[in-house]
Structures are given as structure tokens and as C-alpha cells.
């Protein structure tokens, strides 16, 4: 039995390098295929304009052939190893039974002893074979773990968690105590976050949003506008500063700033290959009486009427069947249907024509109960702002009303003048 175990362990040890090699090649080939598919769906219009459909499909076919070959090597070697482990287990059983037969012939081994011996023999030999197969599987799982650790930039996959099973429930924090209170004010003080790779971000930014206010964050590209919004919402881990809801400290913004307290429209909205209605609701259980006002506020009602199946129209992967402006307004409807107190919007109108943009901001600001924090440098948004925060190099350059900033802030004047020369985006 000891020799049997040594043989299976030796086989697993000898094949460990090939196990890792084949599994790594299989995972890399699969990642190339999925990456290529993502790029294809994200650049459908570019492919059509260049009439490159044939070359793109040929490239995808080549990647699929490589993936199929790598997956076949991985699967075949795994099955061969499993067959070897099972064969060694069966061979060991046979050799042991031959030895037992000699003992039975001499009378030193009774039939009852043999029955008990054979029953335990199967269990033990299968256990050894399973242990050897487990070693091979562990090598394969190691490849997946390394890929995950690379993706997470070295962050641990697991963390220690303390469970107080024998003690009472933890005390409710003040942030959770005010979770159901309607928004009166949201404030952030000395908010700081820097991206590790570039060092860009925000540093020492403070703001205060009163209920019903319309606040715009403006600045050049790279000024830290998106970083400010994402840090405030807990999507980026703040390095310094505090955030308060109704003057109560929010310890974990990432779990606190969710509907119905806040809703967020990112700079690059993501749509899924599903019906337009499902892309707006994302599983939210509301009726048409709540969906229709959100569609209208997002200036999307005319587009829905022109679609063949209305809200049931399939939009394709990443919304490829919609224009850039339609995608942005679908994302706006997704935010509005959640009826949150705080609406956070990152450059929502960059792909809209002037009239659609004007109507969108007019409808959004019509409800004086909602609080808006908006990233934009467009005139239609700036003219409706109650308060404007101008960022430069991640810091607050100036803040105040539009009229005041145009008189006192050179950065604001350059942003305002640049809008005069900017051409509106093509699609709406």
C-alpha cells in the first residue's frame, strides 16, 4: 500500500509542470477569445465603416482554433493522468489480492478475513487515487489563483473575518441610524484620493449639497472630476477626509450611497444585450406608472416610439443598436427610475445635440426635491447650476455662481470660452 501511494504521488509530482503549462495556455487562449469578442462588440461601427467584417471573423476563427487546441491539450492530459491514477490503484489491488490468495491457500487467511480485507482495500486504494487526483487539480487551481491575484493587483483573495457568534448584536452606527432619513444635506470635507499608477485624483476637496440644489463640477480633462464623484460614492477608497449625510458621519460610503439614497450615472454607461426596458430597470420591480415618468425625464419618449418594439426592443451587446446619445439617456432613465434623493451624474450630455441637452437639463432640474451633483462643462448645465466647483489638477480652483466665477476665475473663463468653439457631438 505504501508503494502504491508513492507511485501515485510520484506521478502527480512528475506531471505538475505539464499540468500548469497546459492549464495556463488554455486560460490565456480563452481570455484572448473573450477579449477579442469584447473589442468587436465595442467597435461595431468602426468595423462596418472599414468593411473589415471578413478579416475580423478570420481573426476570431484563428483565436478560436488556438483556444480549442489548448483546451484539448489540457483536457487530454488531465484525463490521461486520471486514467493513470485509476490504473495504478487497480494494479495495486490486483497485486495485494495475489498475496492474499497465497495466504488463503496455506490456511492462514480465512474467507471472512478476506471479505473484510477486500471491502477495506477498495476504500483505501480509491482514497489514494483521489488524493493524487486532488494534487493535480490543486495545480490547475493554482493557475486560476495566480490570474486572479494579477487581476486584483496583488490584493489578497481572502481576508480574516471575526464572527461574534456568542456575543450580542453589534451596536448600530450613526451612519446606519440615519439611513432611512430623507436627505437634508450631503457634505464632504478634505476628500483625497490618488490613483496609484498616475498620482492623479483629488486632494483636499470639500463640498456641501443642500436638498434640491443643482451643483456642477467643472474642469479640464484630468482635473479629477470623475475621481471626486467616485470617491464620494465610495467607488474609490478615500485616503483622507470625511463624508456626512444630514451631518452624520458615513463610515462606509460604498454601501451607504445606494438607492433610494443616491443613484449614479457613470461617464461611460454600460448596456446589456437585452430589452431596453430591462436595461433601464435592471431587475427593479416597478410598474409602468413609475417607468414612464423616468423615460420622459430622460427625453427618451420619442426614441421609444420610433423603435419597432418600443421598450421591448433588444439593444444588442453594449447597446450597439443605439446611438451614443440614446445610450446616455437610457442610463439617465435607469438612474431616474430609482427615485433617489441624491442624483450623481458624470458628463451625461456629451453625445447630445444642443436642443436635446437643453430639454434634458430642464426636465431634470424641474423637480426641486431632488439633489443633483453633476460633472459637466457644457453651457446648458452651467447656466442651471446653483453652485459650481471648478477643479484644477485635483484641487478646488474656485467655487461659486456662474456669474461670479466668470468675473473672478480665469479657469472658468477658459472653460466657458472653450465651449463656444466646441462642436456638439454628432449623434443624439
296-315 tens-digit pLDDT? 999 999 999 998 899 999 99
β-strand pairing of 395-400 with 387-392: antiparallel
Q: What is the pLDDT of residues 120-140, one digit of tens each?
A: 777 776 676 676 667 677 777
> Does the model's pTM come out above 0.95?
no
- Residue 174 confidence (pLDDT): 45
Kindly state the cell numbers that stand for 187.
Answer: 457634505
Q: Would the pLDDT of 398 be above 80?
A: yes
- Residue 197 confidence (pLDDT): 83
- The stretch 157-186 carries a mean pLDDT of 62
Highest mean pLDDT out of 38-52, 103-117, 193-207, 318-332: 193-207
- The stretch 201-226 carries a mean pLDDT of 94
Provide the pLDDT confidence category of residue 421 given band limits of 50, 70 and 90: very low
Average pLDDT over the chain, rounded to whole?
A: 82
**CATH 3.40.50.300 segments of the chain:** 182-421
Helix (H) or strand (E) holding 194: strand 185-194
- Residue 176 confidence (pLDDT): 43
What is the CATH code for 2-151? 1.20.1560.10
CA neighbours closer than 13 Å in the CB half-sphere of residue 324? 17
Q: Would the pLDDT of 358 be above 70?
A: yes
Which residue from 295, 368, 302, 367 is spatially nearest to 332, judged by alpha carbons? 295
Domain 182-421: homologous superfamily in CATH: P-loop containing nucleotide triphosphate hydrolases (3.40.50.300)
10-19, 206-215, 283-292: which has the minimum mean pLDDT?
10-19
Kindly state the cell numbers that stand for 428.
Answer: 443624439
- The stretch 39-64 carries a mean pLDDT of 81
Provide the pLDDT confidence category of residue 386 given band limits of 50, 70 and 90: very high
Residue 165, Cβ density class (10 Å: 0-12 exposed, 13-18 middle, ≥19 buried): exposed
- The stretch 14-40 carries a mean pLDDT of 83
- The stretch 313-322 carries a mean pLDDT of 84
Q: With pLDDT > 70 as the criterion, what percentage of the chain qualifies?
A: 82
Specify whether the CB–CB gap between 231 and 250 falls below 8 A.
Answer: no
**CATH 1.20.1560.10 segments of the chain:** 2-151
Amino acid at each position: 500500500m505504501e508503494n502504491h501511494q508513492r507511485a501515485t504521488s510520484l506521478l502527480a509530482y512528475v506531471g505538475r509542470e505539464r499540468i500548469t503549462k497546459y492549464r495556463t495556455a488554455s486560460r490565456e487562449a480563452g481570455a484572448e477569445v473573450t477579449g477579442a469578442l469584447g473589442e468587436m462588440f465595442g467597435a461595431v461601427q468602426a468595423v462596418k465603416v472599414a468593411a473589415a467584417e471578413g478579416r475580423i471573423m478570420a481573426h476570431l476563427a484563428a483565436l478560436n482554433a488556438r483556444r480549442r487546441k489548448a483546451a484539448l491539450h489540457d483536457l487530454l492530459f488531465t484525463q490521461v493522468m486520471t486514467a493513470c491514477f485509476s490504473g495504478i490503484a487497480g494494479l495495486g489491488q490486483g497485486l495485494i489480492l495475489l498475496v492474499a490468495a497465497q495466504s488463503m491457500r496455506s490456511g492462514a487467511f480465512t474467507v471472512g478475513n478476506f471479505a473484510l480485507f477486500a471491502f477495506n482495500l477498495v476504500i483505501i486504494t480509491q482514497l489514494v487515487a483521489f488524493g493524487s487526483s486532488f494534487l493535480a487539480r490543486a495545480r490547475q487551481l493554482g493557475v486560476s489563483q495566480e490570474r486572479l491575484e494579477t487581476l486584483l493587483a496583488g490584493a489578497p483573495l481572502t481576508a480574516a473575518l471575526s464572527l461574534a457568534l456568542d456575543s450580542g448584536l453589534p451596536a448600530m452606527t450613526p451612519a446606519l441610524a440615519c439611513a432611512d432619513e430623507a436627505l437634508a444635506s450631503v457634505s464632504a470635507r478634505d476628500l483625497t484620493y490618488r490613483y496609484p499608477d498616475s498620482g492623479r485624483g483629488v486632494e483636499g476637496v470639500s463640498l456641501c449639497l443642500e436638498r434640491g440644489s443643482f451643483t456642477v463640477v467643472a474642469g479640464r480633462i484630468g482635473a479629477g472630476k470623475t475621481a471626486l464623484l467616485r470617491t464620494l460614492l465610495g467607488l474609490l477608497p478615500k485616503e483622507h477626509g470625511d463624508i456626512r449625510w444630514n451631518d452624520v458621519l458615513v463610515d462606509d460610503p460604498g454601501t451607504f450611497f445606494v438607492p433610494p439614497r443616491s443613484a449614479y450615472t457613470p461617464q461611460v454607461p454600460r448596456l446589456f444585450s437585452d430589452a431596453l426596458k430591462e436595461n433601464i430597470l435592471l431587475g427593479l420591480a416597478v410598474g409602468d406608472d413609475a417607468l414612464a415618468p423616468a423615460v420622459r425625464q430622460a427625453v427618451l419618449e420619442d426614441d421609444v416610439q420610433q423603435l419597432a418594439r418600443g421598450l421591448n426592443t433588444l439593444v444588442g451587446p453594449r447597446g450597439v443598436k443605439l446611438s451614443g446619445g440614446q445610450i446616455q439617456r437610457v442610463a439617465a432613465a435607469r438612474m431616474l427610475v430609482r427615485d433617489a434623493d441624491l442624483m450623481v451624474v458624470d458628463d451625461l450630455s456629451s453625445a447630445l445635440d444642443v436642443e436635446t441637452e437643453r430639454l434634458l437639463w430642464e426636465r431634470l432640474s424641474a423637480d426641486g426635491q431632488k439633489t443633483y451633483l453633476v460633472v459637466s462643462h457644457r453651457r446648458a448645465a452651467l447656466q442651471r447650476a446653483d453652485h459650481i466647483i471648478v477643479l484644477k489638477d485635483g484641487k478646488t480652483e474656485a467655487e461659486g455662481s456662474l456669474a461670479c466665477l466668470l468675473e473672478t476665475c480665469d479657469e472658468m473663463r477658459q472653460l466657458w470660452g472653450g465651449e463656444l468653439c466646441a462642436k456638439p457631438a454628432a449623434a443624439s
